[in-house]
Amino acid sequence: MQRRTFIKKTAATSALISLSGVSLTSFTTTKERKITILHTNDVHSHIDPFPDNHPRNPAMGGVARRANLIEKIRKEETNVLLLDAGDIFQGTPYFNYYGGELEFKLMSMMKYDLATMGNHDFDNGIDGFYAQLPHANFEFVSANYDFKNTKLDGIVKPYKVFIKEGIKIGVFGLGVQLEGLVDKNLYKETIYNNPIEIATDITKQLKETEKCDLIICLSHLGFDYKNEADKPSDIKLAALTQDIDLIIGGHTHTFLDKPIIKTNKAGKQVVVNQVGAYGINLGRIDFYLSDDSKYISQEKNIIVQ
Amino acid sequence: MTFKSKNTNSLYTIFVTTLTLLSVLSCKTNATRTYLIEGKKIEVNASYEKNQAIESFILPYREHINNDLDSVLSFSPETLDKSKGEWQSNIGNFMADACMELANPVFLKQQNKSIDIVLLNSGGIRSIIPKGNITKRNAFEVMPFENSLIVVALKGEQIKAMAQHIITEKKPHPLNGLKIVINKDNQIIKILFKEEVINPSKTYYVATSDYLANGGDNMTFFLKNEGVFDLNYKIRNVLIDYFYKYKTIEPSNLQRIIKE
């Protein structure tokens, strides 16, 4: 009897607490939230900075510097997501000697939240990738690679939903066609599905079932293929789908001066970004969200610099 | 712990319920929406201090790699460079001969057959080997990629196409096992394997990189083949093993393409 009353009271109290926390304040003020997305792609085992006398990228990049930059941003912002768009592996002896162990350990130290798989992440085979996963404190997503007949079944999921200050952020992954690019002995029974079709299904699921406020695609498809009309790319993905807010790309090592804005199938704007390669740049996209009614009929502003 | 009477509690529940309803009814249920997006790229340059925790974590890995890469394995009395020589280079001869010598026992064990010819591509040689001590780092610089050796079974007809490709491209591709005789106008006079003219219907076993075996660098003659055998032997490891085996690297200057 006493217990029943207590439970009821507790429920009511917590309802009151949550009311004063959320609904009550909404009578007077609106709720503003900011989500900061930081991203890299095609780092290719570039753990050390380029040498000072490097002809193209002197003294650029390096994990120790990136870590400090990220730490600085984390001190300034509450809701940070740190993402990677694939090809973490291959490019320096660190990979040849340690098979990706150090790359994953350092990304874990920097508190990466999520990554997708690039073609080079298969360079030591599905088994080699799987063997390094214990060193990663973050997960991998890929929606169009079907891993059901491989070791990665159930490990690499299609998407992951993050909740930051009540904002639901759905992040899904897309990978490039492996046939002709990666040896079959390495990717084994991984099935590549059409990324545009998969993206259409996944975004619907993230929007309607998961009720995501933001949808981000981590893509290793490549930015744009002007001479290959049928080849899926980030530019095509942006134009042929809807409800994606941000496409973070990789694979083509495209050094964009700034993020670009494309119009999607529904006439809405999508931000597409890719930050070259080798950890030379860190991409940063800030989303400002509000439940203020004044924004209802207004198209969002996008400022890229 | 004290509890309020049941009566008070009910009133309290009603109050909260009313409040909840009130809040739902009187406030518009506005969906959260993005009203602004800011995007930029941040250059990771020397203006950022190095994170010391990260830096000291990397250090033992870096030192181990550097010690290993810089340990001296062999010696080169001269600089090996692919730009030295028109039809073949000293580095190309060294690589093709090393592949033949070290990969043949692997193929013999695997398929009970011998490699007849080795062909790599000049473009795949990514660095010179300077005169002096040779370290593992040299092998990584020459062959930074993970390419491994593949043996492709080709009919003599395809060997002819291969010889024609080499002569047409006029690049010093690493070659072993084949002798191509050309005239002064760069036309093929004869193609010899062990001093015998290539037989169009006979099968020859050609070791090459997996990249070229798949038709890379326009070597499409590999695609019409009688079978492929993966040796699972990285070309870089062939070089490293060869450096371990020989204290001095002296490439053969045997002519593989002979101009009459």
Work out the number of other CB atoms within 10 angstroms of the CB of residue B105: 11
- Note whether A39 and A273 are within 8 A (CB): yes
> In angstroms, what separates the C-alpha of B148 from chain A's closest C-alpha?
11
Query: Residue B2: what pLDDT?
Result: 43
Given a cut of 70, whether residue A1 has pLDDT beyond it is no
- Note whether A57 and A50 are within 8 A (CB): yes
Q: Which residues pair with B209 in a beta bridge?
A: B149
* 14-53 in chain B: CB under 8 A from chain A: 16, 19-20, 23-24, 26-28, 30-46, 48-53
Given a cut of 50, whether residue A5 has pLDDT beyond it is no
In this predicted model, what pLDDT tens digit does every residue of A204-215 receive, in sequence order? 999 999 999 999
SS3 B37: strand
Across chain B, how many H-helices and E-strands are there? 7, 12
Instruction: Please list, in sequence order, all residues whose beta carbon lies within 8 angstroms of the beta carbon of residue A50, skipping any fewer than 6 positions away.
Output: A56, A57, A58, A59, A60, A61, A62, A278, A280
Closest CA to A103 of A62, A50, A45, A39: A45
CB contact under 8 A, B38 and A183: no
Distances (CA, A) of B11 to B17, B20, B22: 10, 14, 16
**């998961």: which residue's tokens?**
A210
> In angstroms, what separates the C-alpha of A63 from chain B's closest C-alpha?
8
Measured between CA atoms, the residue of chain B closest to residue A257 is: B41
What are A243's two structure tokens?
A: 């409800």
- Note whether B229 and B151 are within 8 A (CB): yes
The whole-number average pLDDT for the span A193-201 is: 98
Closest CA to B135 of B76, B64, B63, B92: B76
CB contact under 8 A, A303 and B26: no
Query: Residue A252: what pLDDT?
Result: 96
- Note whether B95 and B239 are within 8 A (CB): yes
What ipTM was assigned to the predicted interfaces of this complex? 0.89
Instruction: Please give the distance of CA A114 from its chain centroid, rounded to a whole number.
Output: 6
* CB < 8 Å to A287, chain B: 34, 36-37
In this predicted model, what pLDDT tens digit does every residue of B227-238 receive, in sequence order? 999 999 999 999
> In angstroms, what separates the C-alpha of B147 from chain A's closest C-alpha?
11
Query: Residue B3: what pLDDT?
Result: 44
How many degrees, rounded to 5, is the angle at CA A226 between CA A223 and CA A232? 50
Query: Residue A182: what pLDDT?
Result: 85
Measured between CA atoms, the residue of chain A closest to residue B56 is: A64
Q: If pLDDT is split at 50, 70 and 90, which confidence band does B22 have?
A: very low
Instruction: Please give the distance of CA B23 from its chain centroid, rounded to a whole number.
Output: 64
In this predicted model, what pLDDT tens digit does every residue of A71-92 receive, in sequence order? 999 999 999 999 999 999 998 9
Query: Residue A7: what pLDDT?
Result: 42
Q: What is the 3-state secondary structure (H, E, C) of A126-155?
A: HHHHHHHHHHCCCEEECCCEECCCCCCCCC
Query: Residue B138: what pLDDT?
Result: 95
Of the ranges A12-16, A167-171, A189-193, which one carries the lowest mean pLDDT score?
A12-16
Q: What is the DSSP letter of B217?
A: G
CA distance A31 to A80: 18
B interface test, pick of A110, A178, A288 with most B CB neighbours within 10 Å: A288
Given a cut of 60, whether residue A238 has pLDDT beyond it is yes
Query: Residue B23: what pLDDT?
Result: 45
* CB < 8 Å to B234, chain A: none
Measured between CA atoms, the residue of chain A closest to residue B23 is: A23
- Note whether A290 and A31 are within 8 A (CB): yes
Percent of chain B at pLDDT exceeding 90: 80
Query: Residue B11: what pLDDT?
Result: 55
* CB < 8 Å to A212, chain B: none
Of the ranges B8-17, B146-155, B183-192, B220-229, which one carries the lowest mean pLDDT score?
B8-17
CB contact under 8 A, B51 and A71: yes
Region of B241 on the Ramachandran plot (φ > 0 left; ψ -120 to 50 alpha; else beta): alpha
Query: Residue B216: what pLDDT?
Result: 86
Stated pTM of the model: 0.78
The whole-number average pLDDT for the span A39-58 is: 94
Query: Residue B258: what pLDDT?
Result: 95
Q: What is the DSSP letter of B248?
A: B
Q: Which residues pair with A282 in a beta bridge?
A: B42
Q: What is the 3-state secondary structure (H, E, C) of chain A?
A: CHHHHHHHHHHHHHHHHHHHHHHCHHHHCCCEEEEEEEEECCCCCCCCCCCCCCCCCCCCCCHHHHHHHHHHHHHHCCCEEEEECCCCCCCCHHHHHHCCHHHHHHHHHCCCCEECCCHHHHCCHHHHHHHHHHHCCCEEECCCEECCCCCCCCCCECEEEEEECCEEEEEEEECCCCECCECHHHHCCCEECCHHHHHHHHHHHHHHHCCCCEEEEEECCCCCCCCCCCCCCHHHHHHHCCCCCEEECCCCCCECCCCEEEECCCCCEEEEECECCCCCEEEEEEEEEECCHHHCCCCCEEEEC
Q: In the predicted model, what is the mean pLDDT of chain B? A: 90
Nearest beta carbon to residue B41 from set A62, A214, A283: A283
SS3 B92: helix
Nearest 5°: phi and psi at B18? -60, -45
> In angstroms, what separates the C-alpha of A30 from chain B's closest C-alpha?
10
Instruction: Please list, in sequence order, all residues whose beta carbon lies within 8 angstroms of the beta carbon of residue A139, skipping any fewer than 6 positions away.
Output: A114, A115, A156, A157, A160
Of the ranges A286-290, B4-8, B149-153, which one carries the lowest mean pLDDT score?
B4-8
In this predicted model, what pLDDT tens digit does every residue of B157-210 receive, in sequence order? 999 999 999 999 999 999 999 999 999 999 999 999 999 999 999 999 999 999
Query: Residue B13: what pLDDT?
Result: 53
- Note whether A37 and A287 are within 8 A (CB): yes
What are A141's two structure tokens?
A: 């997503």
Query: Residue B27: what pLDDT?
Result: 45
In this predicted model, what pLDDT tens digit does every residue of B44-80 receive, in sequence order? 999 999 999 999 999 999 999 999 999 999 999 999 9
What are A32's two structure tokens?
A: 């503003």
Query: Residue B15: what pLDDT?
Result: 54
Instruction: Please give the distance of CA A252 from its chain centroid, rounded to a whole number.
Output: 17
Percent of chain B at pLDDT exceeding 70: 88
- Note whether A235 and A241 are within 8 A (CB): no
Domains of chain B (ranges plus CATH)?
A: 67-259 (3.90.780.10)
**């591509």: which residue's tokens?**
B121
> In angstroms, what separates the C-alpha of A259 from chain B's closest C-alpha?
6
Largest CA distance in chain B: 114
Q: If pLDDT is split at 50, 70 and 90, which confidence band does A202 have?
A: very high
Query: Residue A121: what pLDDT?
Result: 97
Closest CA to B16 of A18, A4, A25, A166: A18
**């990717």: which residue's tokens?**
A187
* 226-245 in chain B: CB under 8 A from chain A: 230
Domains of chain A (ranges plus CATH)?
A: 34-299 (3.60.21.10)
The whole-number average pLDDT for the span B133-144 is: 93
CB contact under 8 A, B38 and A304: yes
Sheet hosting strand B188-193, strand order edge to edge: B196-197, B188-193, B178-182, B257-259
Measured between CA atoms, the residue of chain B closest to residue A256 is: B41
Work out the number of other CB atoms within 10 angstroms of the CB of residue B110: 14
CB contact under 8 A, B33 and A296: yes
Measured between CA atoms, the residue of chain B closest to residue A68 is: B51
Exposure string (b/e) for A70-98, b if CB count within 10 Å is 16 or more? beebeeeeebbbbbbbbbbbbbbbbbbeb
> In angstroms, what separates the C-alpha of A86 from chain B's closest C-alpha?
18
